[in-house]
């Protein structure tokens, strides 16, 4: 029983951090979370992240970097045209600003 409670707590924690990762300019799209994660905990972390993502309406995708022990989860939903346009402009501006320095 305790394992179930711990899993549910992990899901809740992921949901909270996933919601916090959202930028209001993108109307709930473009979320991403990067977590430091030991490889031996990867399975439980991945399951909790996938459940949390689905709970908040994401189409969650995951990746893991064994070199850095980083677990990444992001929202892979197709962006509406207006959000995709805003996101592209923001990315272009950030590249432009980085190169201008």
Smallest Cα–Cα separation from 17: which of 63, 85, 71, 66?
71
Residue 2 belongs to a domain:
no
Q: Domain for residue 1, yes or no?
A: no
Give the residue carrying structure tokens 């045209």: 81
Number of domains into which the chain is organized = 1
In a domain, 42, yes or no: yes
d(CA 86, CA 101): 23
Q: What is the pTM of this model?
A: 0.82
Helices vs strands, H then E, count in the chain? 3, 3
Q: What is the pLDDT of residue 22?
A: 94
Burial code (b: 16+ CB inside 10 Å, e: under 16) for 23-58 equals eeebeebbbebebebeeeeeeebbebbbbbbeebeb
Low-confidence ranges of the chain (pLDDT < 70): 1-5, 101
Give the pLDDT of residue 79.
96
Domain interval for residue 87: 7-100
59 located within any domain: yes
């Amino acid at each position: 029983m305790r394992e179930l409670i711990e899993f549910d707590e992990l899901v809740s924690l992921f949901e909270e951090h996933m919601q916090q990762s959202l930028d209001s300019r993108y109307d709930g799209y473009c979320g991403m979370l990067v977590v430091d994660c030991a490889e031996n905990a990867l399975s439980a972390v991945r399951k909790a992240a996938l459940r949390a993502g689905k709970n908040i309406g994401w189409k969650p995708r995951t990746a893991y970097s064994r070199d850095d022990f980083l677990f990444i989860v992001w929202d892979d939903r197709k962006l509406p045209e207006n959000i995709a346009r805003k996101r592209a402009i923001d990315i272009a501006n950030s590249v432009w600003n980085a190169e201008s320095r």
